[in-house]
Amino acid sequence: MAAVDFDLSPDHELIRRTVREFAEGEVAPVAEELDRTKSFPYEIVEKLGKLNLMGIPFPEEYGGGGGDTLAYALAVEELTRVDSSVAITLCAHTSLGTQPVYLFGSEEQKHEWLPRLCSGERLGAFGLTEPEAGSDAGNVRTRANLADGEWTINGSKQFITNAGTDISGIVCITAVTGGEGNGIDPTHPKEISNIIVPNGAPGYEQGEPYRKMGWNASDTRPLTFTDCRVHEENLLGPRGQGFKQFLHILDIGRIGVAAMGVGLAQGALDEALSYAKQRKAFGKSISKFQAIQSKLADMSTEIEAGRLLVYKAAREKDSGRNFTLTAAQAKLKTGRLAVRCAEEAVQIHGGYGFIEEYPVCRFYRDAKILTIGEGTDEVQQMVIARALGA
C-alpha cells in the first residue's frame, strides 16, 4: 500500500535551506528600502540567477536548475516569507514568462530564449490580461494578422509583470489570429494564439508603471502594440491553441502564487511571534496572553493546512496527474490565509503594525493581491465548482 509521505527529500530540504539563507541574508535587509523607493531589485535578480534559481523547474540542457515544481514552490515560499516583490518577480518570470516557451516552443525557440531566461540575464513576462479580458480571459481583443512572413499586432495588455525592466526579454501574449485577413474561416473570429514579442520589437511599447498598493519593488505596467511587427516564427505552439495553452500556464502559475500565500502567512506569523515574545504589557510578554496565543495557534494551523495543499498540487503536477483542481484549491486557500495572517500579525503588533519600518505593515499591503492576481478567488471557485461537476 502506498504511503502518504509528508517529509521533504534531502534535495528539497537543501533548496529550502539555501533559499531561506539567501532570503534572510540578502533580501530581508533591503526589502523595506526597495519597497519604499519602489526600486526594482536588479542586484537580487542577478544573484538569484547566479544561484541557479531563476529557472528552477527547467531542464539543465536549457540552462535550468533541473528541479521540480515542489522545489520551485519551496523557493517561492521562502522568498515570500521575507519579501513579496522579489518573489513575484521570480514567480511571474518562471511560471508565466518562461514556462510557455518551455512547454510550447519549438527547439529553436527554446534554445534561443531559455538559457537567457533561466540565467536571469533576461526576464520573461506573460501578456494575457487586457482592459476587457480579466477574469473573462478569453475575451481577448488584441489582434495579430499574418502577412508577408510577419505578424502585425494591435491591441493592449494590462497589469503585466516584468515587461518594463532594463533586463526584460520577452512577453508571451495571447492575440486573436482568426477571422478575415488571415486566410482562415472568418466565422471563427476567436481563434486565439500565443506569440512571443521580444523587447525592442517595432511598435511594442511599455507604459508607465502603476502606482500599486503593494508589490512596490516589482515591475507592473500596461503594454501597447501599435502595428507591432514580429516574425511569423514567433508563433508559440500551434495556431489557435493559445487560450488553452494559457489556461494550462495559469494552472501552473497558481501553484507559485499559492506558495507565495503560504510564505507571506508564515512570514507574518514569524514576525508576530517574535514581537509578541519581546513586547511586554501588564508585566509580562504579550505572548503569554490567551488572546494572543489563540491568534498564533490559529495562524499556525491554517498555514500548515495551506502548505499541504500547495505541496499536494506540486506533487500532482510532478507526477503527471491533472492538478487543475488542487492548484485552484491551494490558491483560494492560501490567498485568504495570507490576508488573514497579515491582518492578525498587524493586530498583534498594535500601533507598530501600522508603521512601515515593521515588515508586517508591508506584508499587509502585499497580501491582498493574492486573492486577485492569477485568477480571483471567484475564478478559483468557478474552476473548483466545475471540477466538482456542479
- Positions annotated as catalytic residues are 374
165 contributes a contact to ligand CAA by CB under 6 A: no
Q: Which of 27, 74, 86, 92 binds ligand CAA (CB under 6 A)?
A: 92
80 contributes a contact to ligand CAA by CB under 6 A: no
Q: Which of 141, 244, 277, 280 binds ligand CAA (CB under 6 A)?
A: 244
Angle at 268 between CA 99 and CA 85, to 5 degrees: 35
Q: How many residues bind ligand CAA (CB under 6 A)?
A: 24
d(CA 183, CA 155): 21
Stretch that binds ligand CAA, among 8-16, 106-114, 158-166, 186-194 (CB under 6 A): 158-166
Buried b (16+ CB within 10 A) or exposed e, 119-149: bbebbbbbbbbbeebbeebeebebbbbbeee
Q: Which of residues 336-375 bind ligand CAA (CB under 6 A)?
A: 373-375
Angle at 225 between CA 149 and CA 251, to 5 degrees: 90
Buried b (16+ CB within 10 A) or exposed e, 81-100: bbbbbbbbbbbbbbbbbbbb
Question: Which segments of the chain are extended strands (E)?
Answer: 123-127, 143-147, 150-161, 168-176, 192-198, 204-206, 220-231, 235-236, 280-281, 284-285
Stretch that binds ligand CAA, among 135-143, 184-192, 233-241, 265-273 (CB under 6 A): 135-143
| Cell 537543501 found at | 14
User: Cell numbers of 229, please?
Assistant: 511587427
Residue placing its CB nearer to ligand CAA in the complex, 229 or 312: 312
Residue placing its CB nearer to ligand CAA in the complex, 287 or 334: 334
Q: Nearest distance from residue 128's CB to ligand CAA, in Å?
A: 5
Q: Nearest distance from residue 218's CB to ligand CAA, in Å?
A: 8
128 contributes a contact to ligand CAA by CB under 6 A: yes
Q: Nearest distance from residue 248's CB to ligand CAA, in Å?
A: 4
x/- letters, 258..297, toward ligand CAA (CB under 6 A)? ----------------------------------------
